Structure 1
């Protein structure tokens, strides 16, 4: 809209100049005819010296050129903004997706580091953190419910082939979170198996 307005203004200025002002030439500048016509148009006595006519003619010419230049600069600015906006829309989603992917990989690596640690407390932490990620993934995909169990119940058992596995991993998480006897019996093998079950579900759900 602004670009079209700038073009219209420029065209009107040029039409006005060509219709009401004597074209600039060596003859009209020397004779002062151009500025005489301009001043007469505005009702001003045009009895000026040739030097004054030359100066005023140049001022008038530069003023018109300035208007044309400003209109062109305005149009160019709008065009640059349009291109920048188009490029931003084209590449921003890709950038966002890559950022999310990197964050997911980083989070998963932290869980793997926990489960591969020699510290049993970190094995439990790996399972708890994996279950938290599962909760976020289910939220993002529109599964409703207050708890992870509620959300898994709303998912079709055929949605992912690891459906039963992720249920087993979640149940183990609940035993750890609620401080059951499993606290004393959790082995690294059990923890790694649960993390693997979470990982299979994450791959099928598109998180990894």
Structure 2
């Protein structure tokens, strides 16, 4: 045993190696080749990652197209609101302003206000019930050509009322629902 001998790590040596690696100082030719080959691997991995991202993007766009096509088959095309007269009903103009917004809360408010307008129309026609659904159940299909439109729109309003902000309302569904209300209001010349 040797007494008094100590072994220590030279920290300065490791910092010098790190400095040389970063600056390239005192790098022998073999190390340059190693760094170059590592850089080439990084470039290849970058291209591979870009190709994977491109594949994911194309796949996502294809799936989005499929979902939109399925939405048309499930919900049907957007109902066309026939323009007869200039819109003069101020409530309907307000609903149109709300549905034209980019804010989903405005779309929800537009649907709820259109449903209230539907309830007022049904009450004026003599249908008395606790709810709009009850009023719609009293309607004879022969008296109401757009009864299915009224039901479809009212179902969406109920989903909004019961689920609240948890109900995901897309702009397509919101506009389709308002178009259903518009068809009903056109039939009864409210707009």
TM-score calculated relative to the size of structure 1: 0.48
1:116-174 deviation digits (Å, cap 9, x = unpaired): 10111000000000000000000011011110011111111122221111101001001
1:45-80 deviation digits (Å, cap 9, x = unpaired): xxxxxxxxxxxxxxxxxxxxxxxxxxxxxxxxxxxx
Alignment equivalent of 2:185, drawn from 180, 199, 202: 202
Matching residue of 1:153 = 137
Matching residue of 1:143 = 127
* Structure 1 unaligned residues grouped into runs of 5+: 1-101
Write out the 4+ residue segments of structure 1 that deviate beyond 3 Å after TM superposition: none
Compare CA radii of gyration and give the structure with the larger one: 1
Matching residue of 1:168 = 152
> Which whole-Å CA distance do the structure 2 matches of 1:106 and 1:137 have between them?
15
SS where residue 145 of structure 1 aligns?
A: coil
> Which whole-Å CA distance do the structure 2 matches of 1:197 and 1:182 have between them?
23
Residue 128 in structure 1 maps to residue 129 in structure 2: no
Matching residue of 2:19 = none
SS where residue 178 of structure 1 aligns?
A: helix
Greater share of helix residues, 1 or 2? 1
Alignment equivalent of 1:113, drawn from 69, 92, 97: 97
* Counterpart contact for 1:175–1:182, Cα < 8 Å: no
TM-score calculated relative to the size of structure 2: 0.52
Displacement of 1:103 after TM fit? 10
* Structure 2 unaligned residues grouped into runs of 5+: 1-85
* Counterpart contact for 2:87–2:93, Cα < 8 Å: no
Quote the RMSD (CA, aligned, Å). 2.2
Displacement of 1:180 after TM fit? 5.4
Residues matched between the structures, number: 107
